Structure 1
Amino acid sequence: MSESFWQDVYAKHLQHPDYGYPLRTPEPMSTLPQDYQDNGLQIGDVGIVDSDGQFDVLFNICKRSDNPLHENHGVPANFQPVQHGDVKSSNNAISASPVYSHGIRRILQPENQRSADYEFTTSARAGAILILPQGATSAKLLSPEQFREVAMESAPDWYEFAKKRYGVQQLDRSLYLITGFYKTRSWSLGSFNNPTGATGKIWARRNDSHPNSYPLEFEFPADPHHMDDASGSINQTVFITGFKITFSSWFQQPIVLKVTESETTWSKLVRFFMTCFSRLRSIPGGHKQRTVISKLRR
């Protein structure tokens, strides 16, 4: 199966209303500047989630155009850095415990002869799990809606900039704007998708030579990964919060939603009819009445 398949499975089943969108590959890309290698993703980053589930940073809306991050590829047209406002931070945002999807149940007293530190059973055909031996820290904007307005105004320029770097097919018509994150030093994660209905147990045992590493083992086909950063840096981003910016060749305006939101059928219909009306007005002899478009409230 492709890498993008596994990221889709992992994200679908582990996306959390409080934590945000999960990354199957939490480490920062090796091509990023040293401060990213040391600290991981940052508030204001704009980029895509690639097929491995790793966040590829295009630029940061809070950094100047001459920042080292922008040296290789530059910034979009009409780029102006913005102030991100107050940030709320927490050193124990997620406790040192597993996060897992519906259908997975933790066995609090493992019965496995191999003395597993964590043991689970699953009744679901598909799911995902994340173990954080040292928990996770977090940082979030207190007023993220400011970033939504910036995204709505600048998204067309961002999309054109991204197209030049990735092409339309790899871009998949979506960008992400980070307003917060959850980071850790070490993690173990895995996902599974078994159409045949194969289920069973899942274990995680501490690696004696790496005390903060708990590799996952499955009784059935799965996609496990783990990391114990010996440097001690809290630079592994396991969840991001922010906005997903989706473009459509039919609709005139991009869709900007929180990463845990979905566009409703009603809002799709409203946007569809607004677009049709706008295009009719552009036809010679069409209706010239001024249209007032109100922001939908959910």
Structure 2
Amino acid sequence: MEDPISNLTHESIFTAQSPAHMFQNATRFGIEGSQFMNVLGNMNIHHLAPPSAGKSLAAAGNALDVSRDVYTDSGSYCSQLLRRGRGFPLYVPGPQRNLPREYQRNGVAIGDVGRVTPEGIFDFFFNIYLDADDPINVDNVPEGFCPLKRYVSRDVVYLDFEPGNHVSTPSVQKRDLESSSGDLPGLNFTFDCNAPEGAVLALPHGSHLEKLENMEHMRRYAAKNAESWYKYINGERGRGLSNGALYLVTGFEKSQSWGMAAFQEVTTQTEFLLSFKPTAADRYRWTASGPATTKASGPIPIHGEPLNQTLFIHGLSISLGTGIWGRLFKSVEICQIVDSQLGRPSNQFLPYASQGFLSSWSLGFLGGGGKQGGKQCAGRSEDPNGVDIFHPSQVINNYLLAKFASVTVAMSHDDDWRDILRRMPSICCSKYAIST
């Protein structure tokens, strides 16, 4: 099978160009350990050595109050666990029943192209590593689709979390675990919950993580095909994705059993208990002494069956340049979030995959405390109320497209914002305002 990016020579992909030349007109701007991609014509990836400590991207944009203060259950849960560093949370872990049986058997996989719906579902479209006529893709692929050569297993990190693991906000504290009674394996959980809001994911049987570390070929492939993907998904598949809502999976965390709970707007000083324990029907059940919304997995699967309950995903959020977006969909859906005093570079280069370049502006742009956070704009939403689950990568992509007007594709990975959000005192919001 021909590699669809094999015609790109090493010389055409990797070039040498100084940061000063690339950003000769930029002001109040710095980079830490970033990479730069030019996807106009030939694709060029520029690897830059980290500069001296203390240089970072300057604060950008003024805060905009979010117009809503009421969260859906999925928005409350996902936004609160977003900051815990395990990936992007899914509120509906199981695969949809309208997908092929082969897909339902294993659920989310590395290389899946999809979106996260307002309900917290991963909406699968196709996998970039499988042939068009594969039982999972079943010819539901863009025109001219050619799969990417599959990654090698040595580039994948595998990690198992022990039984009794949990992920929660600081407002939810676990008491000592207790062994379950009866024949059902697993553990009993009891949590102390404190106002005003919180969320927890309980994993009686632990979980399994797989994450692709070498994403270079995937990035180039996505840059080359992003336009055709959006055209297919918003056209033939009729999803009406906002710019940046397209997601390419690079990793996942799955489990046999799980329990989710979230609460919000609880009266100050209120404390209550949540317990998650097995029942006689081979499943777990929540009990709560306070106002929490809870969910639990179904019967525990037979040992040895594939895991298809996906709790967290890792991946690239992909946006098209405003010019291409406008040509395809006759609209421009990107907010101007950059300070007008910031200069624009003369070259068409786009930063992505940076571990540090967002740190200095994250508090002012992504957060700021509580439910009235920074400005987040991501184009139209399929939600008729104009709101959606907050995804930091879309915010980052919007910033990049507003700052670098000539680029054709912007990509950011969940790892780019993970550590920033973990350091923030509170998440900015579970939903964001929509620009039209």
- TM-score scaled by length of structure 2: 0.54
Q: CA 1:238–1:109 in 2, change beyond 3 Å: closer, same or farther? A: closer
Q: CA 1:86–1:229 in 2, change beyond 3 Å: closer, same or farther? A: farther
What's the CA shift string for 1:163-197, capped at 9, x where partnerless?
122342xx343011111111111111122222654
Alignment of 1:80-95 (within 5 A): 80-87=146-153, 88=156, 90=158, 92-93=160-161, 95=163
| Counterpart among 228, 240, 265 of residue 313 in structure 2 | 240
What's the CA shift string for 1:225-282, capped at 9, x where partnerless?
10134433321111111112245625699997797757559x82x643532xx5xxxx
Q: CA 1:17–1:191 in 2, change beyond 3 Å: closer, same or farther? A: closer
Distance 2:403 2:103 in 1: 44
> Does residue 1:74 correspond to 2:145, yes or no?
no
- Matched residue count: 268
Q: Is the 8 A contact 2:165 2:206 kept in 1?
A: yes
* AA at the equivalent of 1:10: Y
Q: CA 1:263–1:146 in 2, change beyond 3 Å: closer, same or farther? A: farther
Three-state SS of the structure 1 residue aligned to 2:224 is helix
- Report 1 or 2 for greater relative contact order, CA contacts < 8 Å, sequence distance ≥ 6: 2
Aligned to 2:206: 135
What's the CA shift string for 1:125-173, capped at 9, x where partnerless?
22211111110112111312432232222222111111122342xx343
Q: Is the 8 A contact 1:62 1:84 kept in 2?
A: yes
Aligned to 1:27: 94
Distance 2:319 2:268 in 1: 33
Q: Is the 8 A contact 2:158 2:211 kept in 1?
A: no
Q: Is the 8 A contact 2:188 2:276 kept in 1?
A: yes
Q: Is the 8 A contact 2:82 2:89 kept in 1?
A: yes
Q: CA 1:218–1:137 in 2, change beyond 3 Å: closer, same or farther? A: same
Three-state SS of the structure 2 residue aligned to 1:186 is coil
Aligned to 2:233: 162
Distance 1:254 1:57 in 2: 27
Distance 2:176 2:216 in 1: 41
What's the CA shift string for 1:277-297, capped at 9, x where partnerless?
x5xxxxxxxxxxxx9xxx99x
* AA at the equivalent of 2:312: F
Q: Is the 8 A contact 1:119 1:203 kept in 2?
A: yes
Distance 1:42 1:136 in 2: 15
* AA at the equivalent of 1:272: A
Aligned to 1:214: 284
Q: Is the 8 A contact 2:260 2:294 kept in 1?
A: yes
Superposed CA RMSD: 3.6
Q: Is the 8 A contact 2:272 2:288 kept in 1?
A: yes
Alignment of 1:128-277 (within 5 A): 128-164=199-235, 165-168=237-240, 171-173=241-243, 174-194=245-265, 196-197=267-268, 199-211=270-282, 213-232=283-302, 233=305, 234-246=307-319, 249=332, 268=399, 271-275=401-405
| Counterpart among 87, 90, 113 of residue 46 in structure 1 | 113
Three-state SS of the structure 1 residue aligned to 2:318 is strand
Q: Is the 8 A contact 1:183 1:238 kept in 2?
A: yes
* AA at the equivalent of 1:77: E
Distance 1:77 1:230 in 2: 41
Q: Is the 8 A contact 1:19 1:239 kept in 2?
A: yes
Could you tell me how far 1:36 is from its partner in structure 2? 2.0
Q: Is the 8 A contact 2:208 2:254 kept in 1?
A: yes
Aligned to 2:77: 10
* Identity fraction in percent: 28
Q: Is the 8 A contact 1:104 1:124 kept in 2?
A: no
* AA at the equivalent of 1:5: T
